[in-house]
Amino acid sequence: MPTLAESSLSETVQVARDLIRIDTTNRGGGDSVGEVQAAKYVSDFLQRLGLAPETYLSAPGRASVVVRVAGSQPELPALVLHGHLDVVPADAANWTVDPFAGEIRDGMLWGRGAVDMKDMDAMILTSIAEILRAGERPRRDVIIAFLSDEENGGVFGSHWLVDHHPELFAGAGTAISEVGGYSVQFEDTRAYLVQTGEKALDWIRLRARGTAEHGSRIAHDNALVRLAEAIAALGRHEWPIALCDTTRDLIERVAKIYGVNPTEVDAEQMFVRAGKGAGFIQASLRSTSNATVLQAGYKHNVIPDSAEALVDVRSLPAERDAVLAKIRELVGDEIEIETVHSDIGLETPFSGELVDAMTASLLREDPEAVVLPYLLSGGTDNKALSKLGIVGYGFAPLRLPADLDFPGMFHGVDERVPLDALDFGHRVLVGLLRSY
Q: pLDDT digits over 136-183, tens only?
A: 999 999 999 999 999 999 999 999 999 999 999 999 999 999 999 999
For residue 132, the model assigns a pLDDT of 98
Q: What average pLDDT does the segment 16-30 reach?
A: 96
- Positive or negative: CA dihedral 357, 167, 178, 104: positive
Asked if residue 119 and residue 234 are part of one domain, the reply reads no
Cα gap 54→322, rounded to integer Å: 42
Cα gap 168→166, rounded to integer Å: 5
Instruction: Using alpha carbons, select from 264, 286, 265 the residue that is nearest to residue 274.
Output: 265
Asked if residue 167 and residue 232 are part of one domain, the reply reads no
Task: Look at residue 317 and tell me if it is in a domain.
Answer: yes
Task: Look at residue 39 and tell me if it is in a domain.
Answer: yes
Listing DSSP states for 191-219 in one string gives EEEEEEEE-EEEEEEEEEE---EETTS--
Task: Look at residue 22 and tell me if it is in a domain.
Answer: yes
Residue 363 has pLDDT above 80, yes or no: yes
Asked if residue 31 and residue 178 are part of one domain, the reply reads yes
For residue 276, the model assigns a pLDDT of 75
**Residue 430 CA to chain centroid, in angstroms?**
22
Reduce the DSSP state of residue 263 to 3 states and report it: coil
Q: What average pLDDT does the segment 319-341 reach?
A: 96
- Positive or negative: CA dihedral 241, 244, 247, 253: positive
Residue 347 has pLDDT above 70, yes or no: yes
Cα gap 131→128, rounded to integer Å: 5
Are residues 29 and 61 in contact, defined by beta-carbon separation less than 8 angstroms?
no
Task: Look at residue 135 and tell me if it is in a domain.
Answer: yes
At residue 246, what are phi and psi to the nearest 5 degrees? Answer: -65, -45
Task: Look at residue 15 and tell me if it is in a domain.
Answer: yes
Task: Look at residue 281 and tell me if it is in a domain.
Answer: no
For residue 269, the model assigns a pLDDT of 86
- Mean pLDDT, the chain, rounded, equals 95
| 208 or 272: which leads in pLDDT | 208
> Strands 391-394 and 213-214, how do they pair?
unpaired
- Positive or negative: CA dihedral 54, 55, 59, 60: negative
Percentage of residues of the chain with pLDDT beyond 70: 98
Confidence of residue 4 (pLDDT cuts 50, 70, 90): low
Residue 405: which CATH number?
A: 3.40.630.10
User: 65 lies in which domain range?
Assistant: 6-183+347-435
Domain boundary residue, one of 328, 344, 360: 344
Task: Look at residue 194 and tell me if it is in a domain.
Answer: no
For residue 90, the model assigns a pLDDT of 96
Which residues fall within 8 angstroms of residue 132, CB to CB, at 6 or more apart? Answer: 49, 50, 51, 69
Residue 407 has pLDDT above 90, yes or no: no
Asked if residue 163 and residue 17 are part of one domain, the reply reads yes
Are residues 193 and 98 in contact, defined by beta-carbon separation less than 8 angstroms?
no
Which residues fall within 8 angstroms of residue 263, CB to CB, at 6 or more apart? Answer: none
Q: What average pLDDT does the segment 215-220 reach?
A: 90
Asked if residue 206 and residue 136 are part of one domain, the reply reads no
Asked if residue 226 and residue 158 are part of one domain, the reply reads no
Asked if residue 155 and residue 44 are part of one domain, the reply reads yes
Task: Look at residue 279 and tell me if it is in a domain.
Answer: no
Cα gap 371→368, rounded to integer Å: 10
The string of pLDDT tens digits covering residues 84-103 is 999 999 999 999 999 999 99
Asked if residue 142 and residue 88 are part of one domain, the reply reads yes
Listing DSSP states for 32-55 in one string gives E-SHHHHHHHHHHHHHHTT---EE
Asked if residue 336 and residue 397 are part of one domain, the reply reads no
Domain boundary residue, one of 275, 309, 344: 344
The string of pLDDT tens digits covering residues 224-281 is 999 999 999 999 999 999 999 999 999 999 999 999 998 888 888 888 877 777 778 8
Asked if residue 24 and residue 163 are part of one domain, the reply reads yes
For residue 2, the model assigns a pLDDT of 44
For residue 5, the model assigns a pLDDT of 60
- Other C-beta atoms closer than 10 Å to the C-beta of 203 total 19
Are residues 80 and 170 in contact, defined by beta-carbon separation less than 8 angstroms?
no
Domain boundary residue, one of 295, 317, 344: 344
Q: What average pLDDT does the segment 372-393 reach?
A: 96
Q: What average pLDDT does the segment 313-322 reach?
A: 95
Residue 304: which CATH number?
A: 3.30.70.360
Residue 53 has pLDDT above 60, yes or no: yes
Tally of structural domains, the chain: 2
For residue 271, the model assigns a pLDDT of 87
Asked if residue 235 and residue 133 are part of one domain, the reply reads no
Give residue 317's identity as a one-letter amino acid code: P
Residue 1 has pLDDT above 60, yes or no: no
Prediction pTM value: 0.93
For residue 419, the model assigns a pLDDT of 98
Asked if residue 326 and residue 206 are part of one domain, the reply reads yes
Q: CA-CA-CA-CA torsion for 334, 340, 341, 345, nearest 10 degrees? A: -10
Give residue 97's identity as a one-letter amino acid code: V
